[in-house]
Amino acid sequence: MGWEQYYGHEQKREMFARALQRGRLGHAYLFVGPSGIGKRSFARLLAQSLLCTRRPDGELTACGECSGCRQVLTRNHPDLMEVGLPEGKSELPIDVFVGSPERRGREGLCHELSLSAMQGGYRIAIIDDADRMNIASANALLKTLEEPGPGAVLILIAEDADQVIQTIRSRCQQLYFGPLNENDLRKAVEDQLARQEPGESQLPLETVLAGAHGSVEQALGRMNRSPDFAAAEKSLQDMLARPQWTAARLSKAAEPLLSQFGSDTSAQREGAHAVVGCCLKACYRQLVGGSTAGLSDWQRDHWADAVDLCLETGIQIDRRATVALCLDAFFQELEIRLRPTWNPSPVRS
């Protein structure tokens, strides 16, 4: 994959291109934004560009053919390290950064970054799920951020910046990656589909894109959903748009959507994300359409609080052991935050 196959976030690419031209590339960046909108792909393309042996000085390009590019594409470049949440774990453990207890300080990401680049130039680390670091992991990484090795570039990736420990966050240049616009999302999905085995989607592409919230990951996940999936989403969103619902009724309305997923824990989490994402879209639609729907400023504030709740819950789903309890708490809190909007004027004490 090269920049010509990457869609969206043009301003970020231009920013890094200018930084290279001026010799002002930073040593630590924090990429923040929703899941599936291209943060990790951007980080890998940036790394590939920096490690491309044919890249002209000061340009952000990647030829895709040199030894450096091929090693990045096959995930075996000696100067590029990637870490993320281990399977079955809820936190990034300290061992990822400083090695196992038996070899602490002699292996792990921090040790690797202290070494000089094996092929000259940059030595790059991509840290996915940076919002899952615990205190011990953050403290281990902190020294590397404060005293990076020669040519070191760290790229941290997170969905929620507030969940990244403040001492880490303050030492990184933070960049927000928003959902893809409709045109970029369409191009990205069509490009992905062209490179996959042909298959028959049960949902029209327009329906897939409309419910993907600007996320390629979500769009591809929706391709083989049945028409009942779209109907269940619409039913849930319609209920949220009407006043006087209760948490219990909202929970009941979410059941048809949850039934589209399996019963194992992973499938339950995926279903919970679908429900919360559906609510997020409905709340956001109310928020941005408030000026034309006759909403007052205080009502819009409540819808903004609801959007924040949806985003917070999306993070919590992967951290809570019991998905059902997480959704129950979400529905109850959503009712609390939106109930005041059902009245024509705010209640004053």
* pLDDT tens per residue, range 248-296: 999 999 999 998 888 877 788 888 988 998 898 888 888 776 544 566 7
Q: What is the pTM of this model?
A: 0.74
Q: How many domains does the chain have?
A: 2
Domain for residue 188, yes or no?
no
Do 10 and 152 lie in one domain? The reply is: yes
Do 172 and 231 lie in one domain? The reply is: no
Tens place of pLDDT for every residue, the chain, 349 residues?
789 889 999 999 999 999 999 999 999 999 998 888 999 999 999 999 999 999 998 889 999 999 999 999 999 999 999 999 988 788 899 999 998 888 887 889 999 999 989 888 999 999 999 999 999 999 999 999 999 988 999 999 998 888 899 999 999 999 999 889 889 999 998 888 777 666 655 567 887 787 777 888 888 877 767 778 888 888 998 888 888 899 999 999 999 999 888 887 778 888 898 899 889 888 888 877 654 456 678 888 898 999 899 988 987 887 766 889 999 999 999 999 998 887 755 554 4
- Could you give the CA distance from residue 273 to residue 215 in angstroms, rounded to a whole number? 13
Whether the Cβ atoms of residue 306 and residue 247 lie closer than 8 Å to each other = no
Do 152 and 259 lie in one domain? The reply is: no
Query: Which one-letter DSSP state was computed for residue 207?
Result: H
Do 8 and 110 lie in one domain? The reply is: yes
Sheet bearing 80-83, strands edge to edge? 80-83, 123-127, 152-158, 28-32, 173-176
Do 170 and 282 lie in one domain? The reply is: no
Residue type present at position 156: L
Cα dist. 138→86, 106, 145, 286, 320 in Å? 16, 18, 10, 38, 21
Do 20 and 136 lie in one domain? The reply is: yes
Do 105 and 244 lie in one domain? The reply is: no
- Could you give the CA distance from residue 3 to residue 7 in angstroms, rounded to a whole number? 8
Cα dist. 299→288, 309, 338, 340 in Å? 12, 15, 8, 8
Domain for residue 209, yes or no?
no
* Residue after which a domain boundary falls, among 176, 195, 217: 176
Q: What's the domain range around 237? A: 226-342
Do 137 and 274 lie in one domain? The reply is: no
Do 151 and 279 lie in one domain? The reply is: no
Do 18 and 167 lie in one domain? The reply is: yes
CATH number of the domain bearing residue 53: 3.40.50.300
